[in-house]
Structure 1
Amino acid sequence: MFGEFWPLIGVVLGVIVLLILIIKFKINAFIALIVTSIFTGVILGMPLDKIIETVEKGMGNTLGSVAIIFGLGAILGKLIADGGGANRIADTLIDKFGEKYIKWAMILASFIIGIALFFEVGLVLLIPLAFTIAKRLGVSHMKIGIPMAIALSVTHGFLPPHPGPVVIAKELNANLGEVLLYGIIIAIPTVVIVGGLLIHMLPKLSPSAFKKEVDMSNIISEIPINEKDKPGFGISVFTALLPVILMLFATIVQMITGHQDGATNQFESVVYFIGNAPVAMLISLLFAIYSMGVRRRRTMNQVMDSASSAIIPIGMMILILGAGGSFKEVLIDGGVGKTIEHMFVGSSMSPILLAWIVSSLLRIAQGSATVAAISTTGIVLPLLQATDANLALVTLAIGAGSIIFSHVNDTGFWIFKEYFGLTVKETFLTWSVLETAISVCGLVFVLLLNIML
């Protein structure tokens, strides 16, 4: 009876089932996501023998890309915390900016770091610092952590070398330099408005999220350190930024040589290898063992105890992220994207607005920002051939749409929920609202820029 719209109805039913399992029956999110993935696959009409295969594929793809980074990043963050580096950076930032402007200091640091790092990598690196500052000031971890997450999300959605903007630009044949330039012009006011101003609404939307006490013992350090053994500000920042430096160097070499598709000589091979996220994190971790461990007169047993204490609490988080990837994969294989594509065939709407709407619907329906972005390019390409639309701005409109309303089918939703110790409802009222605000602000500034150019 519902015909071609059944996949979209299936998405809604799947989300409702997931929320009921978690909120009403208090079932663990990992179990609830696996049950929902299978249920959604059934109602979408997928062959029964393919459902489990898709669930396994989704979990494998997700964990394959984030498990190593999360594991190494969590250990690196804990070593910097236990070695005194996070406290040194926090004290210096507080002294330089003062409590009144510390939020802006965190936004600036996160924005700079976020240009070079994936959202997940930046988050695991900066969480210990944000939580340390929050404890130092005696304020909610949300007040410092949310501006950080917003800055990381904006850079992820709008700025090359992040995969979304790069892939969209390549598919649309847009100039990557223009995408970067216009992206910065759009990203800065978006971060200021959402990260600096709109976040003041959140305590009213979800007071409980800002009042709860979160166990930070596995993230920040309670280890007393003699003043003579504390690291300096320079070595603390260098240790924290080493992954950024390695990845950014590789990106700059790629942009200078134009060899984004692969290395053409031995030098490029080495640079791209050490600039690969897992390798960069591993190198940085080994350096941190020295700079925040051995050099701080900590024994190797003490350093490894820090490593173990960092890994144990993220075990369930990694499983939840994998299960979220399974749910997303079921929605993709279940034909949700094709249904939305069909809805917009032959549309005569403005290319920029159409790009944002299609990308937003795909993002909300199946969760992956990257999949939403790539799928949208195929829908708008025929329309672009008959117009003189600015391809760089269309690229940014797609990027803006692809980060709207992060919810239960997006791994970023679960990352934020678990790290900040929130309930599903609190995550909707904070993270989902902020992601939507970023997306809408991005669209507004793209349209304004389009008028001025």
Structure 2
Amino acid sequence: MDAVTYAADPVFLLATGAGAIVVLMLLIIRFKVHAFAALTLVSLLTALVAGVATDKVVSVMMSGFGSTLAAVALLVGLGSMIGKILEATGGARVLADTLINRFGEARAPFALGVASLMFGFPIFFDAGLIVLMPILLSVARRVNGSVLHFALPVAGAFAVMHAFVPPHPGPVAASDLLGADIGLLLVVGLPLAIITWYAGAYLYSRYAGNKFILPVPALYQSTDDEVIDNPPSFAMVMTVLLVPVCLIFLDTGLNSIQVAGYIGDDLAWVDTLRMLGNTPVALLLTLLLCLALFTRRFGKVKMEKLCTDSLAPICAVILVTGAGGMFGGVLRSSGIGDALANLLSASGMPVIVAAFVISTCLRVAQGSATVALTTTASLMAPVVSATSGLSELDLCFIVIAIAGGATVLSHFNDSGFWLVSRLLGMDEKTTLKTWTVMETLLGSIAFLLAAGLSLIF
């Protein structure tokens, strides 16, 4: 949403953004103000100080809050129902036992991470994390280990796939804006994403899991130790997990084909398939499948109760995530992110370095990785087109560098920060020391790999 601002001085806008982040950290960490209240207050103050017209302050705040809720609330609600059903009916334990028996307890985090890399090819970060959360926590409870040993490889896998690999919207949009070949970007991005995940998420989780001993959140703690008499089979659980992956692939895969120009944009059958593959619809169909499969085993009353019980604990997750989107929306509408990008775009840095730095600044300023990625690609497109000697591989490396910058330094204005924090039951300080550090490692490693390869090829 566009907003009229009176503070046009870029230095003032940048100082306002930095001050807002400092105030927010003090309120939450030092004074223990609830994150929802702190984010709302700082969003209001930032809009006023940055010069957003007073008659538009509330609408700007509500726009960021509402758009984030629209993207997250359905996914969290439907995903939580699916996860609760899998956990309470023994499905999560079946999958956890199978993984442990086949890979061993020591390799269970690696196995979960590899599974997440496969699931993360078509499925978005938040949807994938929500669906797999009861699985990874069931494994953590089974082996009595720190949740971070299992959560960070899974979350990191979805993060790298979402940022670096088509058919996700960020890399697809960036490649289109810069003129990079999507097929070549897939060939380049996939191995870089895997290497980045192994170094920045899996290996880091070995350290973070030992340093921060995080118990299984209360939301996913079993209320009793009863043995399920008729648990679902491993094949049934995998079917439930793969259905949303396959459905979502209809949307993301067909979108990539349309962008490449292989099929038209106005075909009714394509629109229908893409609608079925839209993440909320895919999760809704998966929930209906869950109900159809498990109602016969456990009854309608229990299924209804499980769905109801799954919603109450996630209200805080949804509200805090929406407030993070509100803060990011205010930073975008105030012009803070644009001011930062404009200062750096004319700095004379090498193209790939400038792309990473601008993307990083936009990421820090407004929170959304996809917005940072696509906005940076738009800003860099004229620079790239005016730079001679760039090969097709160079264009792909620039896209990876932009994606790396859009990944680092996830903090209070990133809805993903709050989603991970609340789902894992972490306080904000611990989330900064674990999730933010991991995201920064992932983005930095990807950039260094892309920059190094650009010097070789």
- TM-score normalised by L of structure 1: 0.94
Letter in 2 for 1:244: V
- Residue 3 of structure 2 is matched in structure 1 by none
Q: Could you tell me how far apart the structure 1 residues matched to 2:30 and 2:442 are?
A: 30
Aligned to 1:156: 162
| Further displaced range: 240-249 or 86-95 | 240-249
Question: What is aligned with 2:451?
Answer: 447
- Retained in 2: the 8 A contact 1:158–1:183? yes
- TM-superposition CA deviations, 1:48-101 (whole Å, max 9, x none): 121111000001110111111111011011111112211111000000000121
Whether the aligned pair in 1 keeps the contact of 2:109 and 2:153 (CA below 8 Å) is: yes
Q: Distance in 2 between matches of 1:280 and 1:449?
A: 38
Give the match for residue 267 of structure 1: 269
Match of 1:147 in 2: 153
Structure 1 residues 269-302: Cα deviation after superposition (integer angstroms, max 9, x where no partner): 32111111111110000000122x223x211110
Q: Which moved more, 1:334-343 or 1:95-104?
A: 334-343
SS in 2 for 1:115: coil
In the alignment, structure 1 residue 396 sits paired with structure 2 residue 400: yes
User: Aligned residue for 1:289?
Assistant: 291
Q: Could you give the per-residue CA deviations for residues 379-421 of structure 1, whole angstroms, max 9, x where no partner exists?
A: 2222212233321111111111101110111111111111111
Are 1:235 and 2:236 counterparts?
yes
Count matched residues: 446
Distance, in Å, in 2 between the alignment partners of 1:398 and 1:154 is 13
> Aligned partners of 1:109 and 1:159: how far apart in 2?
16
The corresponding residue for 1:381 is 381
Q: Distance in 2 between matches of 1:302 and 1:237?
A: 22
Name the SS for the 1:116 alignment partner. Answer: coil
Cross-structure match for 1:70: 76
Correspondences of 1:6-405 after superposition (within 5 Å): 6-203=12-209, 207=211, 209-210=212-213, 212-218=214-220, 222=224, 224-227=226-229, 229-256=230-257, 258=260, 263-291=265-293, 293-295=294-296, 297-385=297-385, 386-389=387-390, 390-405=394-409
Superposed displacement of residue 201, structure 1: 3.2
CA distance in 2, matches of 1:31, 1:192: 37
CA distance in 2, matches of 1:32, 1:445: 38
Q: CA deviation at 1:195?
A: 2.3
Q: Which amino acid aligns with 2:247?
A: L
Q: Partner amino acid for 1:319?
A: L
Matches of 2:171 and 2:21, distance apart in 1: 28
Deviation string 1:108-137 (CA, Å, 9 cap, x unpaired) is 011111111111001101110010000000
Q: In 2, distance between residues paired with 1:365 and 1:256?
A: 33
8 A contact 2:178–2:395 mirrored in 1: yes
Cα distance in 2, alignment partners of residues 184 and 44 from structure 1? 40
One-letter amino acid matched to 1:422: M
How many Å separate the matches in 1 of 2:455 and 2:283?
Answer: 42
**TM-score, length basis structure 2:** 0.93
Letter in 1 for 2:110: W
User: Superposition pairs for residues 431-442 of structure 1, below 5 Å?
Assistant: 431-442=435-446
CA contact (8 A) 1:77 1:128 kept: yes
Gaps of at least 5 residues in structure 2 are 1-6
Confirm whether residue 409 of structure 1 aligns to residue 413 of structure 2.
Answer: yes
Mapped contact 2:250–2:276 kept (Cα < 8 A)? no
Whether contact under 8 Å (2:119, 2:128) holds in the other structure is yes
**Whole-Å Cα distance in 2 between the matches of residues 329 and 72 of structure 1?**
25
What CA deviation, in whole Å up to 9, does each residue of 1:330-384 have, x standing for no partner?
Answer: 1001111221122124343211111011101111111111121122123222221
8 Å CA contact retained: 1:77, 1:219: no
Q: How far apart in 2 are the matches of 1:281 and 1:416?
A: 19
Percent identical residues: 32
Give distance in 2, aligned partners of 1:329 and 1:140.
34
Q: Quick one: distance in 1 between partners of 2:263 and 2:85?
A: 35
Aligned counterparts of 2:334 and 2:256: Cα–Cα separation in 1: 37
Task: Tell whether the 8 Å contact from 2:160 to 2:193 is kept in structure 1 after alignment.
Answer: yes
Equivalence for 2:4: none
Q: Distance in 1 between matches of 2:432 and 2:26?
A: 15
Structure 1 residues 23, 260: closer, same or farther in 2, change over 3 A? Answer: farther
- Mapped contact 1:82–1:223 kept (Cα < 8 A): no
Amino acid at match of 2:195: P
Q: Aligned Cα RMSD in Å?
A: 2.0
